[in-house]
Amino acid sequence: MSLNVVTLVGRVGGDPDVKYFESGTVLCKLTLAVNRRTKNSDQPDWFNLEIWGKTAQIAADYVRKGSLIGVTGSLRFDRWQDRNSGANRSKPVIKVDNLDLLGSKRDNESGMSQQNSEF
């Protein structure tokens, strides 16, 4: 038996990076900061998230930098060869299956008004 399940709750590190494909598929990439409690301070761990399909469209429409979200998915490693050095590289990516918007409507509205006032 094998199991690959990741559940995280944290704050989004930047606005969604969304790509629309000719096939109609949507891809949304996000970074998520999850606090790790230590004796001296909270240190965030950063995770790269990849969201596909209808869930990606929801993320694109409703998630912004600082949003509190919960995700469930699986861990995989993207692997490639560095063009300059030829060294093998990899990075962990969470392929999100389920996205929960955890902030309140008030949080989202205040975030939007703060975001709009920056322009």
Structural domain spans, the chain: 6-117
Residue 97 CA to residue 46 CA, distance in Å, equals 18
- AA letter at 5: V
CA atoms within 13 A on the CB side of 91: 11
E strand spans, the chain: 6-12, 17-20, 26-37, 42-52, 68-81, 88-101
Q: Tell me what pLDDT residue 105 has.
A: 55
How open is the CA angle 22-53-62, to the nearest 5 degrees?
A: 110
| DSSP H or E run through 119 | none
Q: Tell me what pLDDT residue 106 has.
A: 58
Q: Tell me what pLDDT residue 47 has.
A: 96
Dig out the tokens for 16 from the structure.
């969604």
Q: Tell me what pLDDT residue 42 has.
A: 73
Q: Which of 58, 52, 60, 61 is nearest to 26 (CA)?
A: 52
What SS3 state is found at 70? strand
Q: What is the mean pLDDT of each run of 10 residues along the chain (119 residues)?
A: 93 95 95 85 88 96 95 95 91 96 66 40
* pTM for the predicted model, two decimal places: 0.79
Q: Tell me what pLDDT residue 46 has.
A: 94
CA atoms within 13 A on the CB side of 94: 21
Q: Tell me what pLDDT residue 10 has.
A: 95
Q: Tell me what pLDDT residue 119 has.
A: 31
Q: Tell me what pLDDT residue 11 has.
A: 95
Q: Tell me what pLDDT residue 109 has.
A: 55
CATH class given for the domain over 6-117: mainly beta
